[in-house]
Structure 1
Amino acid sequence: MYQDRGTEETVAQVCAADPFRGATVVDVVALHQRSLCYRLRFDDGRSAFVKRALPTGSGGAVDQEVAVLRQLSGSDLPVPRLLAALGDPRAPVLVTEDVTGSGTLETCRLDAGGTSPAWARAAARSVAAIHAVPTGSLPGDFPRCDPARRLVRAWTVVSPREVTRYASGFAEALRLLRGSHLVPLLRATADEWRPTAVVHGDIKSDNILCGAAPEAPRPLALVDWEAGGLGDPRWDVGCLIGDLVFTWLSGIDLDAGPSLDDWIAAADPPFSAVRTDIAAAVAAYEALVPVVAADRRLWVRFAAFFLLQRLCSAAIHSQVLPSRSLAYLQVAGQLLRRPDECAELLLCP
């Protein structure tokens, strides 16, 4: 049942701690993420999600997730309930409730025909609920986060070790990014960061697990809080918009013909349907959180960060940069250079 000694030790550690003391694990499912993650099923019918930091040094990220969940879990917020935090700082172990449901946001949108305004609204309302957490009640050591500045640094301050560590597509992606003259805009956007709310920090479909129906009292849960903390709420909304735009770009058919118009016409889902999802999400968020024009402008620019992040994530594992990545770069460039025009196109119903 155990893939390695580390897994066996982690399971034993969980079973020796409350609330699982004395229980027996009958099934272990390995989940592939940045940390070592498992789904454990016990002989009494319970299940739990377990995350263990990698020995290479992701302990700080898992510790950050524990600190955030200590403040947020156990309430009506769309977060998994924290069950235990075990181990030492070098290899912390996080145990939360097992949030399964009907799949990720992308899966539920696909099941609904490719897009779903109802699920988009549910995701936006859940993000708004997190942003509404009173910051005055947070402890002084509550984590802070600034993913925008971190990404700019990762894209512009690159060591030879990083270039040789990743596939050749990564170096090509960095060359294209720098040659696009977007770096000054990225830096200027990151400088607008204002830490005014609790944020998730890594909003994307994989981290939005949906329940049975978007109209349910608790329709979904936001998981993987390693990047969470006190940050800029506009980042989360921008990433949600970026994720929805990404589904459209991923559905463009590059073999539909020789022109860009051919590719867009054959996109599945079509842009009009994705735009409806984005407008629905934005309207749901704005119904709960006061928003001004400057916020919308930054949403659009942070959506560009999301697309560039997906470009670089794919490039890390590619010897040759996939041709679709050029579409991510081109759209990100438009979002950064023309945020007001793009906001009018994307955000308005």
Structure 2
Amino acid sequence: MNNSKIHVVHELIRRGLMQKSEIIDGGLTVADSTSRHRNSLVMRKAGAGYFVKEAVPTQPMSVQTLMREAATYALVQQANGTLAPLAAMMPRCHVWDPVQRLLVLELLPGAENLAAHARRTNRFSETLAAQFGCALATYHGRAAGTLTQTTHGHIFPGMIPWALTISQQTQSSVLNLSGANAQMLSLVQRYPNFPKRLDALQASWRRDTLIHGDMKFENCVLAYTNGTDQEPEIKVVDWEIADLGDPRWDAGSMLQSWLSCWIFSMPADGVVNDPEQLVARAHYPLEAMQPAMRAFWRAYAETMGVSGTAERDLLDTCISFGAARMIQTVFESMYQMTQLTPHAIFMLQVSLNILEEPRAAVSELMAL
């Protein structure tokens, strides 16, 4: 066990979350899962495991996002039942140390995110999609009016997603801009309808409820307490950029997760670049995803209590926000690339098509 793992174990022992004897009897495994923070998975034979996050002191973004996540857990778990639906879909928080900037969460048993579930089962579950749609709408509805900029602005700054501000960005204003993302920025700004539609979404942005801010398959987790043959608990993880914002961004981000999964399942061998051929060779055909997309949306809309024209208008706006989130997905996937890939170019084209004609996109992409 290296020094960083020993440090994590000692911190857990010091806080009474495990015993020294567990080190000796060999019933302990610590695995590194570092991303933005120093993350460790602590698995124990003697009891429930832990997911430990530590901020990187030299990286301000790491410190800020971990503090935001810890504040979100504290707020939700102390809300006296008001945000109980949200608390139920979050991992339990055991410890937050603001001095050491160390966050200890429960390690979800048998955890599998929606992307991994789709790969394992080779299908997209309508039941799970509906459950996440219902859960998302429930906490959006319960948090609305409970949290405001006046009461909670010191925790949540009310920031607008970066993708909506892309018309104001320059290559010099974006840190660590890769060659591919420089191409992406130039491409988006070259087509007038891209900035125009994104500016309109930015102007319509609301700050009326707590949003996750980074909804995607990887953050939608199934916890199998009694094995994968039993019904899982659904959880949403990584609340690092939770904020007071527009719930339509979260819903749209989920819709774009299916679309991104479809696009990224297209061949990347460089042999085929024609869009029609890429679509034809997708490992996950769009038609196989549409029932889950519809199930998610219907559960979300029903739980939010909207129907008829209001539902249709809401869906148009949500899928437009999803199109903006696709730009962000391209940026994230091209972070270390020198040139845009066919996947990225195709995704930007789909994004623009949605932004220009959201109602037609709903019909074509969701079959609604």
**Aligned with residue 107 of structure 1, among 88, 103, 116:** 116
Secondary structure of 2:304's aligned partner: coil
The match for 2:180 is 169
- Measured against aligned partners, the alpha-carbon deviations of 1:92-140 in whole angstroms (never above 9, x if no partner) come to 1111111143411011123332322222222212212321324454482
Matched, 1:68 2:72: yes
The match for 1:190 is 202
Change (3 A) 1:157 1:80: same
Matched, 1:232 2:270: no
Q: How does 1:88-237 map to 2 (within 5 A)?
A: 88=99, 92-138=101-147, 140-141=151-152, 143-144=155-156, 146=158, 148-153=160-165, 156-158=168-170, 160=172, 162=174, 165-181=176-192, 182-212=194-224, 216=231, 219-237=233-251
Task: Give, in angstroms, the shift of residue 35 of structure 1.
Answer: 1.6
The match for 1:33 is 35
- Measured against aligned partners, the alpha-carbon deviations of 1:179-213 in whole angstroms (never above 9, x if no partner) come to 23312211211221112222111101111111347
The match for 2:81 is none
Change (3 A) 1:24 1:162: farther
182-191 or 136-145, which deviates more: 136-145
Task: Give, in angstroms, the shift of residue 86 of structure 1.
Answer: 0.8
Structure 2 residue identity aligned to 1:173: M
Task: Give, in angstroms, the shift of residue 345 of structure 1.
Answer: 3.0
Change (3 A) 1:130 1:272: same
Change (3 A) 1:325 1:137: closer
Secondary structure of 1:51's aligned partner: strand
Task: Give, in angstroms, the shift of residue 161 of structure 1.
Answer: 7.3
Structure 2 residue identity aligned to 1:242: Q
**Aligned with residue 324 of structure 1, among 320, 335, 343:** 343
93-102 or 14-23, which deviates more: 14-23
Matched, 1:54 2:56: yes
Secondary structure of 1:80's aligned partner: coil
20-29 or 102-111, which deviates more: 20-29
Matched, 1:260 2:275: yes
Q: Is the 8 A contact 2:69 2:241 kept in 1?
A: yes
The match for 2:262 is 248
Matched, 1:338 2:340: no
Q: Is the 8 A contact 2:273 2:342 kept in 1?
A: no
d(CA) in 2 for partners of 1:135 and 1:23? Answer: 47
Secondary structure of 2:123's aligned partner: coil
Q: Is the 8 A contact 2:262 2:285 kept in 1?
A: yes
d(CA) in 2 for partners of 1:341 and 1:128? Answer: 24
Task: Give, in angstroms, the shift of residue 87 of structure 1.
Answer: 3.5
Q: Is the 8 A contact 1:256 1:263 kept in 2?
A: no
The match for 1:84 is 95
114-123 or 268-277, which deviates more: 114-123
Change (3 A) 1:348 1:258: closer
Task: Give, in angstroms, the shift of residue 48 of structure 1.
Answer: 0.6
Q: What's the TM-score, normalizing by structure 1?
A: 0.87
d(CA) in 1 for partners of 2:323 and 2:173? Answer: 27
Change (3 A) 1:280 1:132: same
Change (3 A) 1:296 1:120: same
- Measured against aligned partners, the alpha-carbon deviations of 1:167-188 in whole angstroms (never above 9, x if no partner) come to 3222122111212331221121
d(CA) in 2 for partners of 1:125 and 1:101? Answer: 23
Secondary structure of 1:203's aligned partner: coil
Secondary structure of 1:202's aligned partner: coil
Task: Give, in angstroms, the shift of residue 13 of structure 1.
Answer: 2.9
33-42 or 197-206, which deviates more: 33-42
Task: Give, in angstroms, the shift of residue 21 of structure 1.
Answer: 7.3
Structure 1 residue identity aligned to 2:141: A
**Aligned with residue 285 of structure 1, among 279, 294, 300:** 300
Q: Is the 8 A contact 1:23 1:42 kept in 2?
A: no
Secondary structure of 2:332's aligned partner: helix
Q: Is the 8 A contact 1:122 1:215 kept in 2?
A: no
d(CA) in 2 for partners of 1:220 and 1:185? Answer: 34
d(CA) in 1 for partners of 2:212 and 2:31? Answer: 25
d(CA) in 1 for partners of 2:272 and 2:44? Answer: 53
d(CA) in 1 for partners of 2:357 and 2:129? Answer: 24
Change (3 A) 1:320 1:306: same
Aligned-residue CA RMSD in angstroms? Answer: 2.8
Q: Is the 8 A contact 1:115 1:269 kept in 2?
A: no
d(CA) in 2 for partners of 1:105 and 1:333? Answer: 26
Structure 1 residue identity aligned to 2:259: V
